[in-house]
């Protein structure tokens, strides 16, 4: 935060502090806050290790336990399910956002940051950025395991990269849901439970692991309308070299909508929670 003091300030009418303005300052404050979290990662390597173990277990369990029992479109369950596991891993990785924010608030770190002449929502923006970077490590480990069990990228590389981009953009949008949870709960323990509990129905009542047409009619309708299904289908099509069609634009609409709505809610709740 040392570079913040060098900036041309204006008066913050709410807190009485001198704060910088402009998109460049917002980005610098947010990136400074993200670096605070990223620099702490090497000091806790076990977090990265255990973050990678869970998706690897999912890959092995679904491919070798359910692989011969689940009917899906196409010839290979491995090819079908990997997009779902990738999506689930990125979504589950956003839970660190709620837990980290709740922990910072419980330890008083947020109050100390509020005493600095900085763009206050950068605390949330920086946390969301750092957790995306953390997710990248887990994701690349899992991709290596996926190749080892027989998964392949069947489409052009630029379409596969589009799939990766859509997937991580969706994960970033959900990190704002987690940020809202983190500033709304009373403890780290509650954040841990609240941050995970809604992700299980969202990821399993979807097209991630089974074809929704095999579900009961009412559940199939829910699975097909689930934004997680839409994103997973787009990612799967991009990996398989299939045109995702209008689903791509629907997925982008969901990503933008979730990001805008929950970032506004999280920032508003953050301001009210830290002024109590």
Q: Give tens-digit pLDDT for 179-215.
A: 899 888 878 888 888 888 899 899 999 999 888 988 8
Min mean pLDDT across 102-111, 215-224, 255-264 is at 102-111
d(CA 74, CA 215): 18
- pLDDT over 50 (residue 10): no
Q: What percent of the chain has pLDDT over 90?
A: 29
- Return all residues near 56 (Cβ < 8 A) that are at least 6 apart: 141, 142, 145
Q: Residue 205 to residues 17, 179, 202, 227, 244: CA-CA distances in angstroms?
A: 47, 23, 6, 11, 21
Cα 181–Cα 276–Cα 103 angle in degrees, nearest 5: 40
Q: What is the pLDDT of residues 78-92, one digit of tens each?
A: 888 899 999 998 888
């Amino acid at each position: 935060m040392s570079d913040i003091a060098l900036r041309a300030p204006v008066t913050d009418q709410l807190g009485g502090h001198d704060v910088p303005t402009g998109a460049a300052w917002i980005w610098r404050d947010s990136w400074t806050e993200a670096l605070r979290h990223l620099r702490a990662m090497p000091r806790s390597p076990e977090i990265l290790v255990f973050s990678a173990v869970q998706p690897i277990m999912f890959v092995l369990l679904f491919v070798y336990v359910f692989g011969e029992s689940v009917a899906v479109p196409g010839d290979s369950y491995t090819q079908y399910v990997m997009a779902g596991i990738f999506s689930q891993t990125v979504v589950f990785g956003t839970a660190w956002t709620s837990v980290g924010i709740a922990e910072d608030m419980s330890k008083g770190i947020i109050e100390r940051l509020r005493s600095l002449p900085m763009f206050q929502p950068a605390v949330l923006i920086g946390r969301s950025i750092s957790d995306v970077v953390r997710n990248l490590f887990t994701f690349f480990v899992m991709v290596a395991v996926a190749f080892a069990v027989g998964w392949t990228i069947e489409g052009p590389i630029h379409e596969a990269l589009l799939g990766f981009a859509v997937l991580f953009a969706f994960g970033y949008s959900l990190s704002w849901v987690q940020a809202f949870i983190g500033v709304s709960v009373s403890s780290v323990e509650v954040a841990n439970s609240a941050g995970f509990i809604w992700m299980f129905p969202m990821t399993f009542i979807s097209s991630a692991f089974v074809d929704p047409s095999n579900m009961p009619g009412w559940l199939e309708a829910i699975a097909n309308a689930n934004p997680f299904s839409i994103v997973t289908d787009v990612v799967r099509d991009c990996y398989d070299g299939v045109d995702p069609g209008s689903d791509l634009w629907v997925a982008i609409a969901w990503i933008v909508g979730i990001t805008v709505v929950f970032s506004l809610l999280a920032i508003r709740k953050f301001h009210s929670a830290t002024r109590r």
